[in-house]
Amino acid sequence: MTVACATIALTVSATPRLALVGNDDNDLYRTLLLNGVEVTRHNTVDDAISSLPKGIGLIVTATGYPEKRTEISAEQYADLSRRGTRIYIEYPALLPGCEMADSTVSGRLERGVVTSGFFGKNLPEMSILGINGCTYIPANTKSMLVAYAKVAGFDTAQFGLTDTEVHPLLFFAGKDRMASTTRLSHFCQSRFGPSDSWKTVWQCVLRWVMRDNKFTLGILPVDPVATLAPDDNVDENARINAVRRGAKWLSKANLFIHPSWEVTEIGKYQPKNGDPNLFFGPAITSDMLQGDGSRGVMEGHGSTVLADGSQLYRYFIRADVQGETAMLLASAAYVTGDKQYSPVAERLLDYLFYSSGFRGGARNDPDSCSYGLISWANTHPGTFFNDDNARCILGAIGASAMMDNQRWNRYIVENILGNLRTCSKQGFQGNALEQRDIQRNGWRYYNERDFVNPHPHFESWMWACYLWLYDKTGYQPLLDKAREGIRITMEAYPDRWLSQNGIQQERARMILPLAWLIRVEDTPQHREWLDTVVSKLLESQVECGAIREELGSSAQDKNKILVTSNEAYGKNEASLIAINGDPVSDMLYTCNFSFFSLNEAAHATGNPRYAKAVKQLADFLVRIQVNSPAHPDIDGAWFRAFDYDRWDYWASNADNGWGAWCTLTGWIQSWIVSTEALVHKQKSYWDITSDMNMKDAMKKSLWMMD
């Protein structure tokens, strides 16, 4: 397996010697060779013991993991003890003096927790270690170095090990014996994290085995890694390459659905109850036929990393990612000149509006009150999220403009009007509407009701759609509803705002309608509103360009999104951080939407502070694009989480479906790639879509509002 290496220039002490039982592709063995450690490798414990010089430490790795436990006999243990040999063994079938279960257990949400001072000040007690694909042997011991438990926290188990089941993971099993109840030596293949913490773990273990407290581990192989270092220059060639790699990732990950496996695979991993958090299945492999966009695109990866370093795919077919991904591909063609992308983008939009069923049934019946609305997903044909419709349509608009192809204009107008007539007098629709309710109540019920929902994540980007269409058509209700919704929301800021996963993402979402309100009504108050939100957001932009996540302070925020116990970890949607100040940026909810919106704000106002923030964020996102020779299906993607202090993909993985290592063709990939294209062209979305002719489609669609 080819891997990238995260290297730190440290001086290695006088070369010690070790014996290791394991395969030649074992990560620990490769690490020892990379660090210049003299090590002899053996295929069996017998071979190692028979040639083991006095005073040499022995490492026995789990070559049969997870199916077969590591075999060492009682006689071999006794022989090693007589020699005074220090041994590290993992996943043992027998461990004298330690009671171990006959069966093994596979973990899911649990993580490693340091339980002693063995690893020094760099890894104090209660430090958290990510251990992916962990199958372990329940055991009894009083000398734990690392425990395995479900704990809340970012870097530290913030509630300790109380109220959670605790199992030993790494421990002393005698004077000269250290054992692990799982396999720890494939830390690179299994993508353990954070990498600096695991370097400390292995340095301390090796010091103990070799009886050399001065040994320094200088190199640890890591895959994946960020494309560039934090201080690497980002020129326009690097930006174009990020766009190109971002578009190619869709095919490398085999995310375009092909008819040959659409029914068998997609159907298999879509449960009948439609719970989107259960839509996980194995990767679509390279030997399966690749789709051409005519049957849509999948979402991407779930956040669970398996023992071999792979990730499950999400088999949830959503409407929003079709429109967004079409814009991604059109952006790649726009910047690179590569004509292969535009036909796929066209087919995605055709799938979205014509053949998928997202606009089928009542949504395509002019006599229906839900006419023009777009379903959330193919498994939820009667559910409409205001925000998902907005991003779907903004993607379609952007793709249409960049391809100079406006044959979907009627569907764009009908969707915006369909949402306009089902929002309240104040311009709010709520988090989601159901078709059965709309059909029963009629659209006028929603249009004439008094209802407010100061929740930018769900409401604000549809206001941006209203403002965009108002600019093209002059239809006054679009401006009136958008302006009123924005006014009420800004008057509620910040204490009465609702949050989905933290206050920072809500600020990120609010910037776009504020920027476009200035485009249509440039007043001092509207500029003040925009600057209030942008300035607060940019207080959290750090030197490398990342925007730090922030939990809100409202009662609603605390009750909904904070993980308040170990038991609550992994049960709901959640932030990537545990407390404000954790050095994490979020590409699913904050940096992605901030990037697009700040670019619009900079162009709308000419404010150089906004423009500087856009450039810093653009460069940061180019640098942290995933580089993974070992896993082509994530190479060129962006993960949700990035720890900018460590320069590593690390965060709390508490979110029950969209944790730290998820990818998403729509929300993440599309808005980052498309905005990098705009930054390269020194354009705004508003500018490149300004010539779209929506008046004809509007004239034919205004009957919807009668």
Q: What is the pLDDT of residues 136-175, one digit of tens each?
A: 999 999 899 999 999 999 999 999 999 999 999 999 999 9
- The DSSP element (H or E) to which 394 belongs, if any, is helix 386-403
Assign domain 5-107+171-223 one CATH number from 2.60.40, 2.60.120, 1.10.1660, 3.40.50: 3.40.50
**Average pLDDT, integer, range 469-475:** 98
pLDDT value at residue 16: 46
Mean pLDDT lowest among 13-27, 137-151, 470-484, 551-565: 551-565
Residue 400 has pLDDT above 60, yes or no: yes
**Average pLDDT, integer, range 268-275:** 75
pLDDT value at residue 10: 35
Categorize the per-residue pLDDT at 3 as very low, low, confident or very high, splitting at 50, 70 and 90.
very low
Cα 497 from Cα 474, distance rounded (Å): 30
Looking at beta carbons, which pairs linking 9-17 to residues 24 or more positions away fall under 8 Å? 9/218, 10/216, 10/217, 10/218, 11/216, 11/218, 12/36, 12/37, 12/215, 12/216, 12/218, 13/212, 13/214, 13/215, 13/216, 16/210, 16/212, 16/215, 17/53, 17/56, 17/210
**Average pLDDT, integer, range 431-460:** 97
pLDDT value at residue 275: 72
Highest mean pLDDT among 82-86, 235-239, 264-268, 378-382: 235-239
Centroid of chain to Cα 34: 31
Amino acid present at 166: V
From 214, 219, 194, 169, select the one nearest 28 (Cα to Cα). Answer: 219
Cα 454 from Cα 494, distance rounded (Å): 10
Where exactly does CATH 3.40.50 map onto the chain?
5-107+171-223
Cα 72 from Cα 74, distance rounded (Å): 7
Cα 44 from Cα 59, distance rounded (Å): 11
pLDDT > 70 fraction of the chain, expressed in percent and rounded: 96
As a residue count, the chain comes to 706
**Average pLDDT, integer, range 652-656:** 92
CB atoms within 10 A of CB 178: 21
pLDDT value at residue 568: 93
From 261, 265, 325, select the one nearest 293 (Cα to Cα). Answer: 325
pLDDT value at residue 561: 58
pLDDT value at residue 264: 87
Q: pLDDT per residue over 57-104, tens digit each?
A: 999 999 999 999 999 999 999 999 999 999 999 999 999 999 999 999
Using DSSP's 3-state secondary structure scheme, residue 215 falls into coil
Cα 371 from Cα 519, distance rounded (Å): 29
pLDDT value at residue 523: 98
Residue 333 has pLDDT above 70, yes or no: yes
Residue 14 has pLDDT above 80, yes or no: no
Both structure tokens of 426: 């104040």
Strands (E), 84-186: 87-90, 105-106, 111-114, 128-129, 135-136, 144-149, 167-172, 177-180
Using DSSP's 3-state secondary structure scheme, residue 380 falls into strand
Cα 456 from Cα 429, distance rounded (Å): 11
Residue 590 has pLDDT above 90, yes or no: yes
pLDDT value at residue 274: 67
pLDDT > 90 fraction of the chain, expressed in percent and rounded: 90
> b/e for 560-589, b at 16 or more Cβ within 10 A?
bbbbeebeebbeeebbbbbebebbbbbbbb
Backbone φ, ψ for residue 563 (5° rounding): -85, 110
Cα 526 from Cα 457, distance rounded (Å): 20
Q: pLDDT per residue over 377-387, tens digit each?
A: 999 999 999 99
Both structure tokens of 644: 């900018």
Residue 439 has pLDDT above 50, yes or no: yes
Residue 585 has pLDDT above 90, yes or no: yes
Categorize the per-residue pLDDT at 19 as very low, low, confident or very high, splitting at 50, 70 and 90.
very high
Cα 74 from Cα 93, distance rounded (Å): 11
Residue 555 has pLDDT above 60, yes or no: no
Residue 344 has pLDDT above 90, yes or no: yes
Backbone φ, ψ for residue 568 (5° rounding): -80, -15
Q: Specify which residues 100 forms β-bridges with.
A: 139
pLDDT value at residue 556: 53
**Average pLDDT, integer, range 208-217:** 96
Residue 569 has pLDDT above 80, yes or no: yes
pLDDT value at residue 213: 95
- The DSSP element (H or E) to which 383 belongs, if any, is strand 383-384
pLDDT value at residue 510: 98
The chain-wide mean pLDDT, for the chain, equals 94
**Average pLDDT, integer, range 422-450:** 97
pLDDT value at residue 559: 46
Strands (E), 209-275: 219-221, 225-226
**Average pLDDT, integer, range 187-216:** 97
